[in-house]
Amino acid sequence: MADFSQLTERQKDIYHFIRIKIETRGYGPTVREIGDGFQIKSPNGVMCHLKALEKKGFISREGRSARAIKLVDHRPPAQGLPYFGKVAAGAPIPVSEQGERLEIDQIFSGLNRFVLQVRGNSMIDSHIQDGDFVVIQKQEVAANGERVVAMIDNEVTLKRFYKEKDHVRLEPENAAMSAIIVHPNQDPQVLGVLVGVIRRC
């Protein structure tokens, strides 16, 4: 269990800032965001706080990017919803209340996963609509045909991935839209693979 008495007040504030970013958007803040949030002008000043948090066992880092910051021994509290059993999508079936709660985060939880909200309609034929939340497994490689979040020139998109002879093809799931052809000089990067979709009706 983390012992917050080890931390200075500033370190506690920065830890909570990191935690909120990870819980609300799926990855940590950048050094610049921390600096702006706490009026720390020097990136080295921010790095000193991050190194202290890492040394004291509150965070781990596997690189310099925001996505490299992980919380150690922290799991956000799950609220859960009442689980009422199954519902037929064909012939009706008897209802039987289960008397338990289903922890939604346990369905999609896993190491190195994050959530993004979809903007646009390029994946509607894959039943992913504008406003849906997608759960992404963080990884840098993907098999042909997998739905991935890819980054091109610092912009991200959700598409079906195909690696071809001299380029990568990012295929939308919308017959009205064309594929994105990404050549090696554009430095395409896979950020993760789709593992789930959450929709609010």
Inform me whether the pLDDT recorded for 38 exceeds 60: yes
Query: CB-based burial of residue 113 (10 Å sphere; 0-12 exposed, 13-18 middle, 19+ buried)?
Result: middle
> In the prediction, which pLDDT does 158 show?
93
Neighbours of 18 (CB within 10 A): 24
In the chain, the number of structural domains is 2
Whether residue 122 sits in one domain with residue 191: yes
d(CA 65, CA 31): 8
**C-alpha dihedral, 190 to 192 to 195 to 199, nearest 10°:** -90
Do residues 132 and 180 both lie within one domain?
yes
Is 98 part of any domain? no
What b/e readout covers 56-83, taking b as 16+ CB neighbours within 10 angstroms?
A: bebbeeeeeebbebbbeeeeeeeeeeee
Do the domain assignments include residue 94? no
Residue 28 has pLDDT above 80, yes or no: yes
SS3 114: strand
The more confidently predicted of residues 79 and 127 is 127
Q: What is the pLDDT of residue 173?
A: 93
Residue 144: per-residue pLDDT? 93
**Stretch 115-124: mean pLDDT:** 90
Q: Which domain holds residue 29?
A: 4-71
The band of 66, judged by pLDDT with boundaries at 50, 70 and 90, is low
Q: Which residues pair with residue 160 across a beta bridge?
A: 147, 171
Residue 55's CATH number: 1.10.10.10
Determine the pLDDT at residue 169. Answer: 93
Per-residue pLDDT band at 125 (split at 50, 70, 90): very high
CATH number of domain containing 168: 2.10.109.10
Beta carbons within 10 angstroms of residue 182's beta carbon? 20
Is 151 domain-assigned? yes
State the catalytic residues: 122, 159
- Which residue, 71, 95, 116, sits at the end of a domain? 71
- pLDDT at position 16 over 80: yes
Helix (H) or strand (E) holding 61: strand 59-61
Of 47-51, 56-60, 89-93, 187-191, minimum mean pLDDT range = 89-93
In this predicted structure, what is the pLDDT of residue 146?
A: 94
Does 199 score more than 80 pLDDT?
A: yes
Q: Which of 12, 46, 71 is the last residue of a domain?
A: 71
**Largest Cα–Cα separation, the chain:** 65
Last residue of a domain, one of 48, 71, 94: 71
- Which of 19, 24, 12 shows the shortest CA–CA distance to 53? 12
What mean pLDDT value characterizes the chain?
A: 83
Q: Does one domain contain both 60 and 130? A: no
Question: Kind and range of the H or E element at 169?
Answer: strand 168-171
Mean pLDDT, residues 173-180 taken together: 92
